[in-house]
Structure 1
Amino acid sequence: MPRSKQCDAQEQLSRLRAQFLKRLPVELNSLKAIAENLTKPGFDVAALNELHHRLHKLSGSCGTFGVPALGEAARILEIRLQAWLEDRSGEIDDKIRQSIVKEIGALKDVIQPTENQSDASLAMASDMPIDKTVRVWLIEDDAAFEQELVRQLESFNFEVHLFKSIRDAETAAQFERPDLLIMNVRLHRLSEQDSILLQDRITLKSLDCPLLFVSSTDDFNSRVRAARLGAEGYFVKPVDITILINRMMHILEKRRAPPQRVLIIDDDNDLAAHYQLVLAIAGMQAEVLQQPEAVITKIANFRPEIILLDLHMPNFTGLDLAGVIRQYDEWSGLPIVFLSSESDLDIQILAMGQGADDFLMKPISDAQLIAATRARIERARRLTSLITKDSLTGLLKHASIKEAADLETAQAQRNGKPVSIAMLDIDNFKLVNDTYGHTVGDNVIASLAMLLRQRLRHSDIIGRYGGEEFAAVLAECDQDDAYRLLDDIRHQFANIHFQARNQRFNCTVSIGLADSAHFPHLIGTELLTIADNALYQAKREGRNRTCIARSIE
């Protein structure tokens, strides 16, 4: 999030807190008025329910807005009222009524606002630039490995800077930052001496980028020390550079992933707005649902990756909503986290058995809210990736890319914007497998996948259609732009050198292209077929070319 927007969000958080504290005396007077009715003959049970619900909201929000003592006092009263409501005898002792009225009246004396600066700023989203050139810093003294790695990285449009020591890199970091750092373990003394390890940790932290280690040794202690330095990968020489680059791409894509989407359902509007701002500061896209009965429509349109759901709400409880959501197959795996001040363990367990994935207690700190939400979404994304993505390339599987093609073409038809679909196939791939083996063939496939992920836009959707064949869906991209982009990828792939059995060789790719402007009434899977026909035209015309489908044959 840009700094100006971060400041605006922090100011909004401060305003929310000020508004809450300003309204608090009015709310306490209202609670007192409702409570006084309890001492009258024939008191209204509906009023008792309202009192319980409002105390529940108060206990959940006070800690967030800087009056934790009041929140705890409200929680104690809420628990007592809950027991009262569950008493089926209908006989309530007058002394108990008078005691509750007195305690509710005394809530105003518990207001002691504390300094409650939002700690959301501690977890702000990275402003890592999303450009086509990725800056890789390499600290390595093995000349042969260094030369080959640089050559391969530059083939994928990485900008490589070489350093002989970590101190040289630290000096350069005063003027720019790398997107990723690769280090030779032997050069950088993964020592057991805590003082040296601490110094290296401080130095590496100042670079603020993902770290990968390469090493000639593979022992547990070295890996532990690398982990303590924050390494996200450890590669043992001789390194398969294709696998190394593939890990680099996964790391960079994770850092540049689209904002995590969070749906908040809570009848406490101030608290919901606070959560929304806190998550926005952390780089997430959060929306609040005000009408619970519209939950399914909202989920279908917003497609959240997690739902933060209050347990006790009027008209519809959190359990009601979770039950409805779980009735739909497409949302059966959507993470639902109850966020409630409910302290009864039995009720929490009941909630977890009704479709929830977790239960968080209010009040919750900003940092805990961010960490819990982010961790849950990242786990869900990893699971989705395992289900929908090909393990070799990290691209969508056959069925998923076909589904994406249908979704994107349907949206393009609604919006009146173009979409282009391409099919790509590595030329003479069987010869590569027969000559060099399937492991080398896998490296060729992975290399084209990495090139596609690097050269195409973040909004484009790429899949491994099968074997050495790929599909790409380019939203809001017309035929001419798609042709220029894909034909450039074709040229780039032809320039990549592969090494096997002391031989260097190159591969080429043929591409077929179709767009919605020339086939406006076709769905995505039909456009894939048209693009596939154009691909085979490219094969017939001699391979290593891009052909455009202009009409149905």
Structure 2
Amino acid sequence: MEEGQENFLQLRDDYIKRSLANFEDIAALLHSMQEEPDGEPVLQQLRGLFHEISTSARTYGFPQATVLSLQAEYDCDALLRQKSPASPADIDKWTLLLHALQVEFSKGPKTKSDKELRKVFEILIVDDDQQSSGLLTELLQKLEMIVKTAQTKDEAMRILQEGMVDGVITDILLQDGVGYELVEYIRGLPEGDKPVILIASILSGFLDKVEAIRSGADGYFEKPVDWEALLERLNLLLERKKTEQVRILSVEDDPSQALYIDTVLSLAGYQVRVVDEPKDFEENLTAFRPDLVLIDYHFPRFSGLEVARYLRQDDRFVFMPVLLMTEGELETPHDHRRIAGDAYLRKPVAPGMLLTTVAAHVERARFLRSHLNRDGLTRLLTHTAFIEQANAMIAKKRRKPEIPCAFVMIDLDHFKNINNQYGHPTGDRVLVSLSAFLRRRIRQSDIKARYGGEEFAIIIDDIREEEALRLISRLLEEFSNIEHHAADSSAFHISFSAGIAMLDARTMDFELWKDTAKEALQRAKAAGRRSVLTA
């Protein structure tokens, strides 16, 4: 055992012994308070004992004890501020809390391994080359990933029917088909858009990579595979798919209250940052990018009311939930609504109430944001959301300009004639059909949007110009062969035109990149439509 671990275990044992002694002292104080409840020194002493338990309980493996002792500590603080004696109900409550603490400590400390603390990914390998499959299995297991293997497409499909995995690594040449078909099958399943799919094959042709992208794969690697590069790409894409931890900004100048909020929310999995100085609020708001702000109604030098008004005047924060915490009633029952606060919580707030309120408002805000960022008809990104992501891509490419990136602008050919001849509902179905087609055929890591009307925009990363031209030309051929039906059951086909512009991050901003793609699109339309041209 390492010296550091020995020291930690010794400190933990010392803490447990002190806490057990504190339990006896707390029991004695509660007994004395039943006979003389209005003694402020006794209340101060009781608060101190609970505080000593709360400060290190989480560190030494007693997270629930932290919440329990903080609740008792906070109750004591409230009575001391109000200069009120403890009531029989308070004493009964603390007696129950003490019993709960004793039960927690009797269970012993909770410890979590690294594997328990992080998401364990499940990966399916589809390859009949046992040497290659075995090597990859060993590498993935070293990363503590769960590995499933299949040698055929049918075997892989049976495994996937039992439950979706986090990632798939497949060869192209399988005994009973090709890997592209398996990728298309996965993308068509419920939740089929979620797994990361990589193709590793001896086929090294330019068209093979284009076909991989068209089928919906997230990456293509030639055999013999650079395993380090494949695992790096797999990890990157898996990490992107993790649900981002919800960030809570707590604006609170009372140290005990700040610790209480931090502990309760952190134990529930939230990332919490505490601001205790008004001058630090705006800086943390910008840098931390919280999903929710929890603020004291009567914070020094500015109030929760003023913060809510400030946030509602800034488009960046207009949907950010603001929860106000107060020790009394607001000026009027509807004051929090008048100033656009989402809700208020009366102190002391129980852990369950705090967690329930935070979770409900975070979920509602995320729901609203997701609907604002998605086109209501096609569920692709909106014009505004696309521009935001495109600018983020440009910033990324300025740091790594060596990786090529393409902007594709698509316009449905003679779409107005479809609306005029078959009606707008049929036209809408065509738009939905194209959007669903693009989701199936373009990697989920790429950026897809309904740019406006019958125009669609796509940003495809890590693709050369000739690969992008071949890919979009293949998509044009395939989409043009899809048979659409009007309300009267008459069938028709529709094609599109497209322009492609490669990004030069050193000289291009979004407007120039977009205009370059649009100019190529206009030339494609002028050349007779149903064509794809590069800038």
Which bracket does the TM-score occupy, shorter chain normalised? Answer: 0.5 to 0.7
CA contact (8 A) 1:348 1:359 kept: no
The correspondence of residues 355-374 of structure 1 with structure 2, limited to 5 A, is: 355-361=340-346, 371-374=356-359
Partner of 1:513: 500
CA contact (8 A) 2:266 2:272 kept: no
The alpha carbon displacement at 1:452 in A equals: 2.5
The alpha carbon displacement at 1:529 in A equals: 1.0
Partner residue of 1:288 out of 262, 266, 273: 273
TM-score by length of 2: 0.52
Greater RCO between the two (CA within 8 Å, min separation 6)? 1
SS at match of 1:422: strand
CA contact (8 A) 1:260 1:374 kept: no
Structure 1 residue 300 and structure 2 residue 286: aligned? yes
SS at match of 1:433: helix
The alpha carbon displacement at 1:541 in A equals: 4.1
Partner of 2:82: 80
Residues 493 and 176 of structure 1, relative CA distance in 2, 3 Å threshold: same
Residues 456 and 288 of structure 1, relative CA distance in 2, 3 Å threshold: farther
How many Å separate the matches in 2 of 1:24 and 1:356?
Answer: 45
How many Å separate the matches in 2 of 1:321 and 1:452?
Answer: 42
Partner residue of 1:274 out of 256, 263, 267: 263
CA RMSD of aligned residues (A): 5.3
Gaps of 5+ in 2: 1-11, 30-39, 56-62, 110-116, 125-153, 166-189, 192-240
CA contact (8 A) 2:295 2:304 kept: yes
Residues 542 and 64 of structure 1, relative CA distance in 2, 3 Å threshold: farther
Structure 1 residue 527 and structure 2 residue 516: aligned? no
The alpha carbon displacement at 1:367 in A equals: 6.4
TM-score by length of 1: 0.51
Partner of 2:135: none
How many Å separate the matches in 1 of 2:332 and 2:99?
Answer: 30
The correspondence of residues 210-225 of structure 1 with structure 2, limited to 5 A, is: none
How many Å separate the matches in 2 of 1:277 and 1:433?
Answer: 54
Gaps of 5+ in 1: 1-14, 30-34, 40-50, 82-95, 119-123, 132-160, 162-171, 180-208, 211-255
The alpha carbon displacement at 1:406 in A equals: 3.8
The alpha carbon displacement at 1:453 in A equals: 3.2
The alpha carbon displacement at 1:533 in A equals: 0.9
How many Å separate the matches in 1 of 2:21 and 2:248?
Answer: 27
**1:147-197 CA deviation, whole Å, 9 max, x = no partner?**
xxxxxxxxxxxxxx9xxxxxxxxxx99970379xxxxxxxxxxxxxxxxxx
Partner of 1:149: none
How many Å separate the matches in 2 of 1:486 and 1:526?
Answer: 21
Residues 461 and 498 of structure 1, relative CA distance in 2, 3 Å threshold: same
AA of the residue aligned to 2:380: L
How many Å separate the matches in 2 of 1:432 and 1:404?
Answer: 31
CA contact (8 A) 1:66 1:113 kept: no
The alpha carbon displacement at 1:423 in A equals: 0.7
Structure 1 residue 375 and structure 2 residue 345: aligned? no
CA contact (8 A) 1:261 1:304 kept: yes
The correspondence of residues 474-489 of structure 1 with structure 2, limited to 5 A, is: 474=460, 479=465, 482-483=468-469, 486-489=472-475
AA of the residue aligned to 1:510: S
CA contact (8 A) 1:422 1:511 kept: yes
The answer to which of 460-469 and 287-296 deviates more is 287-296
CA contact (8 A) 1:261 1:303 kept: no
Structure 1 residue 392 and structure 2 residue 394: aligned? no
How many Å separate the matches in 2 of 1:534 and 1:130?
Answer: 41
Partner of 2:457: 471
Residues 459 and 423 of structure 1, relative CA distance in 2, 3 Å threshold: same
The alpha carbon displacement at 1:23 in A equals: 13
How many Å separate the matches in 1 of 2:120 and 2:531?
Answer: 38
CA contact (8 A) 1:512 1:533 kept: yes
Residues 264 and 400 of structure 1, relative CA distance in 2, 3 Å threshold: closer
How many Å separate the matches in 2 of 1:463 and 1:382?
Answer: 19
How many Å separate the matches in 2 of 1:372 and 1:546?
Answer: 52
Partner of 1:65: 67
Partner of 2:476: 490
The alpha carbon displacement at 1:327 in A equals: 5.3
The alpha carbon displacement at 1:506 in A equals: 3.1
Partner of 1:425: 411
How many Å separate the matches in 2 of 1:178 and 1:393?
Answer: 25
Residues 369 and 452 of structure 1, relative CA distance in 2, 3 Å threshold: farther
CA contact (8 A) 1:419 1:474 kept: yes
The count of residues paired between Structure 1 and Structure 2 equals 365
AA of the residue aligned to 1:303: R
